[in-house]
Amino acid sequence: MEHELATRMRAVERYLLGELSDAERDQFEEHFFDCQACAEEVRAGAIFEANARAVFADPPRPVLQPGWWDWVRLRPAFAASAACLNLLLVGGMGYMGWAVRGLRTQVAELEAPQGYSSFALRGVTRGDEQVIEVPKESRFFSLSLDLLAGQSFRQYRGEILSESGARLFSVTLPRPRTPGEPLNLLIPASSVEPGRRYTLIVRGLEERSTGTPGSEIARHNFLIQRN
């Protein structure tokens, strides 16, 4: 038997399975006694057959149910994803904790008694600006302005505009309890930047005596500085 034919007809497997005719078996045996490649395959086959029989003859070992860790260990892609997710969760929770601690501190600081500087806005020549020097340690400062006669409304609205004219915030201002008292506006120091110019516009709401509702009753330009 030629090696080519032996390979083509899968002689090794057929020999081990006893599927060759007597003549074919003799021819193949003669061949693998001469052919070291086929001899090696037959030898491996005999080892496999004998040891497989011995393995099957062994009493079955108790099959251990794979635990969740085995399940994870056998799926590296899942394990990697789960590890990333865990990392994100831990990181997220850490960040949340840090942020919450910061917020608590800020709330506690806000709730604590504190002083603030108050600045009276005065009428200035058109185009001029008033310099507001806010102390560095102050968290708030207040702006107050006197109402002129005929500017009595139920409420007022104060708007702070930036240099570009963008409205930074708008807040309703209660009318003074007694006539002659100024309007007061408390501003967080962190909402304005030193060296920048701002404009406060005050509008009267819900006409009581004179004036048009929503109409501008005062406009003040000011420059913020921190010292």
Partner 1 sequence: MQPYEFDGDYVRRLAEGDPTVEDHFGRYFGELLNIKLRARVRTRAMLEDVRQETFVRVLETLRQKQGLEHPERLGAFVHSVCKNVMFEKFRDAARQGPLDADAQDRPDGRINAEDWLISQERKLLVESVLQELSVRDRELLRMVFFEEVSKAEACERLGMGGDHLRVVLHRALTRLRERLAKRKAQLGRPSNQQDSVKRRRLAVHYTVRYSDGT
Q: Contacting partner 1 (CB under 8 A), which of 2, 36, 70, 86?
A: 36
Q: What are phi and psi of 154, to 5 degrees?
A: -65, -40
Q: Contacting partner 1 (CB under 8 A), which of 1, 6, 12, 192?
A: 12
For the bound state, the minimum distance from the C-beta of residue 36 to partner 1, rounded and expressed in Å, comes to: 6
When the beta carbons of 23 and 57 are compared against partner 1, the nearer one is: 57
Cα gap 49→55, rounded to integer Å = 10
Compose the 46-85 pattern: x for residues touching partner 1 by CB under 8 A, - for all others.
xxxxxxxxxxxx----------------------------
Does 35 bind partner 1 (CB under 8 A)? Our answer is yes
Does 87 bind partner 1 (CB under 8 A)? Our answer is no
Choices 28-36, 123-131, 165-173, 211-219 (CB under 8 A): range interacting with partner 1: 28-36
For the bound state, the minimum distance from the C-beta of residue 20 to partner 1, rounded and expressed in Å, comes to: 11
Does 45 bind partner 1 (CB under 8 A)? Our answer is yes
Output the CA–CA distances (angstroms, integers) from residue 27 to 5, 7, 151, in the order listed. Answer: 11, 13, 122
| DSSP label at residue 60 | P
Output the CA–CA distances (angstroms, integers) from residue 169 to 101, 134, 155, 158, 159, in the order listed. Answer: 27, 19, 17, 8, 6
Does 30 bind partner 1 (CB under 8 A)? Our answer is yes
Q: Contacting partner 1 (CB under 8 A), which of 10, 73, 197, 208?
A: 10
Q: Could you count the other beta carbons within 10 Å of the beta carbon of residue 66?
A: 11
Pairing of strands 130-134, 216-226: parallel
Q: Enumerate residues 6+ apart whose C-beta is below 8 A from 35.
A: 3, 6
Binding site for partner 1 (CB under 8 A): 10, 12-14, 16-19, 26, 29-30, 32-36, 39-57
